[in-house]
Structure 1
Amino acid sequence: MTSGQEIFDFIVVGAGPAGCTLAATLSKSAAKPRVLLLEAGGKNDDESQRVDGKRWATFMSENMNWGYKTTPQEACEGRVLDYSRGKGLGGGSAINFGVFTVGAKDDYDTWAKYVSDETFGWKAMQKRIKDLELFDGSIDLPENQKYAQPKPEDHGYQGGLKTGYAKEWEQDLSLALDQLEEAGLDRNLDHNSGNPLGMGIMINSAGNGRRTTAVDLLIGAPDNLVIVTDTPVQRVVLENRKAVGVETKGKKYLASKEIILSTGSLDAPKILMHSGIGPASELSKFNIPVVQDLPAVGQGLKDHFFVPLILMRNPETNDRNSFYGSKSAMDNALTQWEKDGTGPWTRYGCQIGCGWFKSDRITCLQEFKDLPAPVQEFMNKKTIPHYEIISGFPVHNIFPQLFQDYSYMCVVAFQMNEQSTGEVRLQSSNPEDPLLFDPKVLQHPFDQRAMVEIYKHLLEVTHHPSFAKDTVSTVLGPASESDEDILRFCKANVSSSWHMTGTARMGKAGDIDAAVDNRFRVFGVENLRVADMSVVPVMTNNHTQATAYMTGATCADVLIREYKLDQ
């Protein structure tokens, strides 16, 4: 180590949900260790990016998004898919769609079983997310209170992350929920109870009209936490297979205890591989000296993918045209939001419906019966869904050129538990070049067959008389309801949810598909850990920002215990 250079106790690389949680929790421990949080992007301190109703378009801000794309997807007509990743403080939480879902109890209990450690079980994970959460479950209008009845014991009320329901809803949300229930979708009064099955209203990562991001956990951080932005880490500094620091362009930062990478499934493998940690065959292609041959790094990529159905609806069911069709109305609403955080921008696009579902039509498929027995067993567990349905997705925020009439409803089907497994790999020896991202969307025969059945169910519920009576026409959907046309449509319109998971997955020593152990330690290297969605060995059935928060909190618990930082 360089004489006279400042040495931190811990260096956390990446200030997304996992990294912010980890760094904040370590710094607030009784021992007050010196913690350095390094972020490749900027401060993301523009308050206009926190407007609740505008959260659907935040990812289009170039300074907040790395702008990643997949490789051409073989099973999707060679399409290149958007693979957005958050840039700057807050990471993905600063550009995602602002939904806060924790997943299924059985996700976490399966994770615990996989690594033989109850640290990752539902009971422990639920406590951690409750400690982070500041939940507001109130619904002001009495007629809307039937859509959500969260139990107090399933939520936290003292944390730094504001979550809850929007104070005002667009008028056709409750109408659609009633119609979908009549069409056969059971209701769920709280999708964050550990059992997400059934249709209800989405809990938002927002509060009082303002988007919540991981940066909120850094508010009031003690002086022993140092935050440095605009500093991309290129590699880990190693001495005899021991991590002692990190290297950026022209500078090194040193740590006496641990380096923890929290840069996500698309970038944690990049830092590892440029440090000589990864598949030897890949590293040798680019003349990167091999420090630790770790074949699992970059493999195991999982994600959730979705396909939309857009229907034009009776304009009397909603009043969106009066707002989105008027620039002055939107401008005046922004002025009001800037003044006191209220107004139409805390109503329009701020509350949607969501639900997760199991289906016999999935488990009866031959393609399901052909899956390995443990996969079938997992998907048959009580709280594990096969797909998700979202109603009221405001897609015009993303594709404004497609709409002149905003009296539409976008209903979206998300496949859960996809069996296609992708990879991320080097494309050069230059650490400034992103990896190549190949999620292999819809390449597995189960995924293709299941997506067709899921979409057929979506068509069935929207064709039900209760819902169909307010549908005027189809804006975007398959040419017909044949399996062939549905599959063709899915391939042409499938998108990523940006839930990339599993490229440095957790497992047991000797597991060929594992890169870290149940204490987040990289196999074969001392004082180096990874704590983000790349290590999660079970693709959780949710929108994964909550899992990232829990992962960071869990790693913090592990480090506090190991280093006795609570004393």
Structure 2
Amino acid sequence: MNDNECFDYVIVGGGTAGALLANRLTEDSKTTVCLLEAGPPDNHPYIHIPAGFIKILSNPSYTWPFQSEPSAGTAGRAIPATQGKTLGGSSSINGMIYNRCQRNDYDHWAQLGNAGWGYDDILPYFKRSERRLGGDDRYRGHDGELVVSDSDWRHPLCDAFIESAVSQGVPRNPDYNGPTQAGTGYTQRNINRGWRWSSARAFLRPAKGRRNLEIRTDAHVMAVICEGRRAIGVRHGRAGHPNTRNTVTARREVIVSAGAINTPKLLHVSGIGAGDMLSSLGIPVVHDLPGVGENFQDHYCVRLVMRAKGVTTINEKSRGPRLAVEVARWMMKRPSILGLSPSVSYMFWKSNEALDAPDLQAVFAPASYKAGIVGELDEFPGMTLGFYQQRPQSTGYVRARSANPFEKPLIQPNYLASETDRNVLVAGLKLGRRVLGAPPLAPYVVGEELPGPQTRADEDLLEYCRNVGSTVYHFAGTARMGPAQDPRCVVDSQLRVHGMDGLRIVDASVMPTVTSGNTCIPVLMIAEKAADMIRGRSAPAAETPDEPAQTAAARR
């Protein structure tokens, strides 16, 4: 391997965004790309079997086992902040839910000074990458690489949950990625015939044979190399091998797609960030850009757990002879718990009826986990309803702890710092209890395990949220997109770093505000749009699908 190799583009991170970018940029055979991924190839079987997420999520060989700093909002607890560290990134370890989030998210981004990021502008990019099995052509794509399927697995508890939500005024919604998100039903997933369809599987596999694409795994990028204010390449090595270092240069651009935690850390150790903070760490300041690592947002999840009766739940199906039956069904391409996402049914609804759009996302599964934490199933039959506020107001930060590029970053989300966030979660618990206590589910419920029937007062419900709430790994915002005049912003509407040349960021870091739901699919959209901007291709014509009258009214 040469000590100094040159490509047109160097992409830092082979995850959700990086995999798609590598595919799109190398469609031009004259363009050379080097994709650098800190983790190993995505060759572990648990990555590709959907139910394997329970095991792979705690495997440090394929994940970044980060943790947040304790805070009052988490009752002094550190919260796992795990991220994918393999080809496909977090799309190789996540819950596989296909969720574009709400139209208003993107219209708000545009209103903040980011031209071209309104919903009508970005809808073609959602459609481009998608291979939807069914759906309305006005909103859905059918020719892309990313397979999107409806859940082919049904369960009496899921059916009863949907009926219970309807009984509480939540409408059925056949497509929450269509005209409106509000409603309830079964989830859409990135699963095809029982296999996870990660970004690596969808976009890297078709591109791997291209001579103009070089993919390097176990390549931890230690710094972006700059000449003055221009990024000219990167230096990468391996943890535990300090003498193994290589330099890769970029003729055109360095593109950082390392995620909302690793991207700001990399910029910091490279000398890009708040000058006083960098100086305090002994890092020479290349560019004083105070917004780097600020504006960190995440969704804070709380779960209700009920003990079930009269039905076999996933808790029992995952053990002994029943598990053998499920394995056999999966191998025969039949619906099985091995081919499931962890969230089977959904509900998007409002904490306050006066709202125009949902501010809560809830996911339901006929399964429950010990201590309410995903990882180990309960011994008894159970069901879980997890929910979170979609548009949290609390913000935190991510920072390098030192100049050492292999040291874990400091992560402080400041969960529940906002009174609004606290009030919405308490209202969400009450809504969840009403749905789980409605007549359609009543025949299957023994009683409430968590938070428990003794927890009734608002202050006790809030204390429960602080004591047991956790992340759903939707980290965003640490390289905020917006005008250069705003000191909080890091990149412009073309995703170019303010005040730098040859440096672009393409991942969830650039979100001005976290999307109202799962972040994986919005990140793919960001990467699709970025690929056009990088290649100098004209954006597709904005689309304005016909909307139901009530949806248009809600937008106004």
Q: Normalising to structure 2: TM-score of the pair?
A: 0.90
Q: Is the contact made by 1:279 and 1:294 (CA closer than 8 Å) also made in structure 2?
A: yes
Q: Is the contact made by 1:356 and 1:387 (CA closer than 8 Å) also made in structure 2?
A: yes
Quote the residue 2:304 is aligned against.
309
Q: Is 2:413 the partner of 1:456?
A: no
Q: Is 2:181 the partner of 1:196?
A: yes
Q: Distance in 1 between the 2:233 and 2:366 partners?
A: 44
**How far does residue 393 in structure 1 lie from its aligned partner after superposition?**
6.2
Quote the residue 2:47 is aligned against.
49
The within-5 A match list for 1:21-60 is 21-29=20-28, 32-60=30-58
The within-5 A match list for 1:160-199 is 160-199=145-184
Q: Is 2:340 the partner of 1:354?
A: no
| Structure 1, unpaired ranges of 5+ | 138-149, 364-379
**How far does residue 314 in structure 1 lie from its aligned partner after superposition?**
2.0
SS in 2 for 1:89: coil
Q: Tell me the amino acid that sits aligned with residue 459 of structure 2.
A: E
Quote the residue 1:214 is aligned against.
199
Q: Tell me the amino acid that sits aligned with residue 135 of structure 1.
A: R
Q: Is 2:111 the partner of 1:113?
A: yes
**How far does residue 449 in structure 1 lie from its aligned partner after superposition?**
1.7
* 2:512 aligned to which of 518, 532, 537: 537
**How far does residue 287 in structure 1 lie from its aligned partner after superposition?**
1.1
Q: Distance in 2 between the 1:42 and 1:36 partners?
A: 16
Q: Is the contact made by 1:276 and 1:283 (CA closer than 8 Å) also made in structure 2?
A: yes
SS in 2 for 1:360: coil
Higher helix share: 1
Quote the residue 1:238 is aligned against.
226
Quote the residue 2:552 is aligned against.
none
SS in 2 for 1:37: strand
The alpha-carbon distance between structure 1 residues 299 and 48, as it changes in their structure 2 partners (threshold 3 A), is: closer
Q: Distance in 1 between the 2:54 and 2:176 partners?
A: 21
Quote the residue 2:270 is aligned against.
275
Q: Distance in 2 between the 1:351 and 1:164 partners?
A: 14
The alpha-carbon distance between structure 1 residues 205 and 343, as it changes in their structure 2 partners (threshold 3 A), is: closer
Quote the residue 1:324 is aligned against.
318
Q: Tell me the amino acid that sits aligned with residue 219 of structure 2.
A: T
* 1:554 aligned to which of 529, 544, 556: 529
The alpha-carbon distance between structure 1 residues 5 and 58, as it changes in their structure 2 partners (threshold 3 A), is: closer
Quote the residue 1:387 is aligned against.
360
For 1:440-478, what per-residue CA distance to the aligned partner results, in whole angstroms no more than 9, with x for missing partners?
Answer: 011111111221112111112222233334211111114
Q: Is the contact made by 1:184 and 1:461 (CA closer than 8 Å) also made in structure 2?
A: no
Quote the residue 1:507 is aligned against.
482
Q: Is the contact made by 1:15 and 1:88 (CA closer than 8 Å) also made in structure 2?
A: yes
**Which has the larger displacement, 524-533 or 450-459?**
450-459
Quote the residue 2:256 is aligned against.
261
Q: Distance in 2 between the 1:507 and 1:468 partners?
A: 49
For 1:55-80, what per-residue CA distance to the aligned partner results, in whole angstroms no more than 9, with x for missing partners?
Answer: 34431222111111101122221011
Quote the residue 1:344 is aligned against.
336
**How far does residue 321 in structure 1 lie from its aligned partner after superposition?**
5.8
Q: Distance in 1 between the 2:133 and 2:518 partners?
A: 19
The alpha-carbon distance between structure 1 residues 321 and 434, as it changes in their structure 2 partners (threshold 3 A), is: closer
**How far does residue 480 in structure 1 lie from its aligned partner after superposition?**
2.1
SS in 2 for 1:55: helix
Q: Is the contact made by 1:166 and 1:207 (CA closer than 8 Å) also made in structure 2?
A: no
**How far does residue 395 in structure 1 lie from its aligned partner after superposition?**
4.0
Q: Normalising to structure 1: TM-score of the pair?
A: 0.88
**How far does residue 346 in structure 1 lie from its aligned partner after superposition?**
4.8
Quote the residue 1:126 is aligned against.
123
SS in 2 for 1:491: helix
Q: Distance in 1 between the 2:272 and 2:278 partners?
A: 8
The within-5 A match list for 1:398-417 is 403-405=378-380, 407-417=381-391
**How far does residue 336 in structure 1 lie from its aligned partner after superposition?**
5.7
Q: Distance in 1 between the 2:387 and 2:3 partners?
A: 57
Q: Tell me the amino acid that sits aligned with residue 388 of structure 1.
A: Q
Q: Tell me the amino acid that sits aligned with residue 358 of structure 1.
A: K
Q: Is the contact made by 1:204 and 1:351 (CA closer than 8 Å) also made in structure 2?
A: no
Q: Is the contact made by 1:39 and 1:89 (CA closer than 8 Å) also made in structure 2?
A: yes
Quote the residue 1:224 is aligned against.
212
Aligned length: 526
Q: Distance in 2 between the 1:419 and 1:131 partners?
A: 31
Quote the residue 2:242 is aligned against.
none
**How far does residue 389 in structure 1 lie from its aligned partner after superposition?**
1.5
SS in 2 for 1:219: helix
SS in 1 for 2:261: coil
Q: Is the contact made by 2:15 and 2:88 (CA closer than 8 Å) also made in structure 1?
A: yes
| Structure 2, unpaired ranges of 5+ | 238-244, 540-556
Q: Tell me the amino acid that sits aligned with residue 412 of structure 2.
A: D
SS in 2 for 1:60: coil
For 1:322-373, what per-residue CA distance to the aligned partner results, in whole angstroms no more than 9, with x for missing partners?
Answer: 52232x4324543664x55445345666761112113436x6xxxxxxxxxx
Q: Distance in 2 between the 1:563 and 1:313 partners?
A: 54
Identity %: 29
Q: Is the contact made by 2:231 and 2:502 (CA closer than 8 Å) also made in structure 1?
A: yes
SS in 2 for 1:480: coil
Quote the residue 1:366 is aligned against.
none
Q: Is 2:133 the partner of 1:136?
A: yes
Q: Distance in 2 between the 1:209 and 1:512 partners?
A: 47
Q: Tell me the amino acid that sits aligned with residue 160 of structure 2.
A: L
SS in 2 for 1:153: coil
Q: Is 2:458 the partner of 1:472?
A: no
Q: Is 2:409 the partner of 1:435?
A: yes
SS in 2 for 1:473: strand
**How far does residue 220 in structure 1 lie from its aligned partner after superposition?**
2.1
The alpha-carbon distance between structure 1 residues 494 and 225, as it changes in their structure 2 partners (threshold 3 A), is: same
